[in-house]
Structure 1
Amino acid sequence: MTDENNQLKTTIKELLESARYNQQTQDRFYALELYFLEANSYELLIRRILTDLKRQLKLSQVELFLLDPQQETQQLISEIYGQLNYKNLIYTDSISEIKALYSGDIHLILSNEQHDIAKLGPGMSQSVALLPLRRGNHIIGSLHLGSRDQQRFHPGLGGEFLLHLGTMISVCIESSINQERYKHLSLVDLLTRAKNRRFFFQALATEIARSKRSKKPLSCLFIDIDHFKAVNDLHGHLTGDRALRCVADTIGPLLRQSDVLARFGGEEFTVMLPDCDLSHAKEIAERIRDKISHVDIANDNNQNFQLTVSIGVSYWQEDQQGFADSEAIQNHLISQADKGVYRAKEDGRNCVRVVEIVAVDNNKNPD
């Protein structure tokens, strides 16, 4: 009887420990699920999938394939965030590339076989899980997990947790892309695909704060198309729109990824140049001015004409120009660049000008 009681106690203890372990696993999963659902941007979600998931699940590799047939997602994200530099984020324009990973039928793969491990990039993985990402009946991508533990993802493992993880991540990815589309509409000029005025001011405030901390210079360009009203009057507004797009398309490749090009309004563009002193800002402005002046623009009759621009340059650095607060710095950058444009117009247009001011030291008391 004593032996039976001891055996019963042991069984109950094992059941309780198993239940406790299952509850802890379920709690961790719910926390992980909430962690992904709380990501309020595509950039943050991708970082949590590719970086944080690897750490939290103690994986050796995480790779994400996303189906993007028209490269729409890549263009959208690039216009909002620039290039996301993740080697383990792979976009593909063909479902056949994803099918090839699954050898045809797309379903959950758990394997410690070398031919499946080789489907991931170079790493130390000894077992892998390939999770199809679906929305409804459509494949949107594939999530690949690798572990150094050979038994972590063996074929006999129950895959319910991983399938649910794949479903949840699929929902998050689709939702975040839709949110970025709405964000894109509010922050990008739809005609030129440059950032809009609202985005420019948000980015400028961020860069001013960063420059104050780093003590690095910050420059701005104001670019105004010369005689643009005459373009609309002579060639029509459709050609005028084409000219605006052409100017934006010409400026973009001349900038760094960290720079911000925005359409400020009408025929005026702005460029924010982080970590760029006045000398380099003037060089960039001159390259832009020269490049635009040599671009042929076709009107509705397929006749080419050319444009010129007048550019004003402004500059600020924390240890050289003292201002009371960030708003004063912003006003300085905008007003001085705007004055530079007016000076360029006065000097005959198609030129770059800087209107410098004597810095005011706000820490000094008047005599």
Structure 2
Amino acid sequence: MSKQPVRDVENLTPAVSGKLDDAGPSETEIADYLQNNIDFFERHAALLTKLKLPHSRGNATVSLVERQVSALRDKNQSLESRLRELIDVARSNDVLAAKIHRLACRLVRARSAATLLDSMETSLREDFGASEWLLLLAPSRQTGFSGIDSRHLRLIDANATELKMFDTLFESARPRCGQIRDSQRDFLFGAGTVEIGSAALVPLGREAGFGLLAIGSPDAQRFHPTMSTDFLARIGDLVSEAVAAA
């Protein structure tokens, strides 16, 4: 960066520690000068101990060096805090990835539609703490599941009017989290049978052609609209492949 023409240093230094007079340089000019001459305080090191700044935590004054050290310490603490947050997120993602891996292994081992449902029940209950969930399947995927009696399975015609309430979900073909309408809750989990504070709805198959996986929780904050749905999408892909092979 090119340096600006240097004015007489003695004319600049009073403005740093005292009030500006009308004939002197403006604060902007001083700031620009120091910005373009970053070695200024190396050439005038004595000024660092003479300049005094208000202490950020009281009425006392500190030298510029002390203020810089304090600012760097605060910045370091902020960076450390951010690093801890990133490490916590990474650890949480590792734990979640391990749970999805166990689900995938269970689905691979399933040899029938019945054992597939059992595998899903085990993973969703033990690994994801989901006791309320439903696999809703369209007719083209009913073959292997016909005759199975389970509260976690429902076979429904693709033209059923009840599915209209999920049109926007199917159109997006992406998982959705948050509170659901009473009509959706009652249809999926039963009217007045369980308390559902929030839910995750996961479309299954290409363009949601297989149906959906609904997971409910009594905790209103368990599934919230701002949470990432990437892992739910992966679960949906795994379940879709398993349903197609059942």
TM-score category (smaller protein): 0.5 to 0.7
TM-score normalised by structure 2 residue count: 0.58
Equivalent in the alignment of 2:13? none
Aligned pairs for 1:214-229 within 5 A: none
The answer to whether 1:167 aligns with 2:237 is: yes
Corresponding residue pairs, total: 168
Map 1:187-226 onto structure 2 (within 5 A): none
Residue 172 of structure 1 deviates from its aligned partner by 0.7
Alpha-carbon offset, residue 150 of structure 1? 0.5
Question: 1:109 is matched with which residue?
Answer: 176
2:99 to 10, 24, 28: 28
Q: Which has the higher contact order (CA 8 A, sep 6+)?
A: 2
Which structure dedicates a bigger proportion of its chain to helix? 2
Q: 1:93-151: CA deviations, max 9, x gaps? A: 334456324045514332214424333223122111221111x4461121110011101
- Matched-pair contact (CA < 8 Å) for 2:99–2:127: no
CA contact (8 A) 1:63 1:144 kept: yes
8 Å contact 1:60–1:123 — kept in the other structure? Answer: no
CA distance in 1, matches of 2:215, 2:79: 40
Partner AA of 1:44 in structure 2: T
Shift in alpha-carbon separation, 1:166–1:101, aligned structure 2, 3 A: farther
Alpha-carbon contact 1:125-1:149 (below 8 Å) kept: yes
Post-superposition offset of 1:22: 2.2
| Alignment counterpart, residue 187 of structure 2, candidates 92, 105, 119 | 119
Q: Superposition RMSD on alpha carbons, in Å?
A: 2.7
1:161 deviates by 1.3
Q: What CA distance in whole angstroms lies between the structure 2 residues aligned with 1:159 and 1:98?
A: 25
Amino acid at match of 1:92: I
CA contact (8 A) 1:124 1:148 kept: yes
Structure 2: runs of 5+ lacking an equivalent: 1-68
Q: Which has a greater percent of strand?
A: 1
Give the unaligned 5+ runs of structure 1: 76-82, 177-367
Name the CA distance, whole Å, in 2 between partners of 1:73 and 1:40: 11
- Alignment partner, residue 222 of structure 2: 152
Bigger shift: 54-63 or 89-98?
Answer: 89-98
Shift of 1:157: 1.9
Paired with 1:16 and 1:36, the residues of 2 have a C-alpha distance of 30
Which structure 1 residue ranges, 4+ long, deviate > 6 Å from structure 2? none
CA drift of 1:58 comes to: 0.8
The SS at the match of 2:233 is: helix
Provide, for residues 298-342 of structure 1, a one-character-per-residue CA deviation record: whole Å limited to 9, x for no partner.
xxxxxxxxxxxxxxxxxxxxxxxxxxxxxxxxxxxxxxxxxxxxx
Deviations along 1:4-60, whole A, 9 cap, x unmatched? 444443333333233222222222222222222222322111112245423321124
Match runs of 1:307-326 below 5 Å = none
Cα contact 2:134–2:215 (8 A) shared by 1 = yes
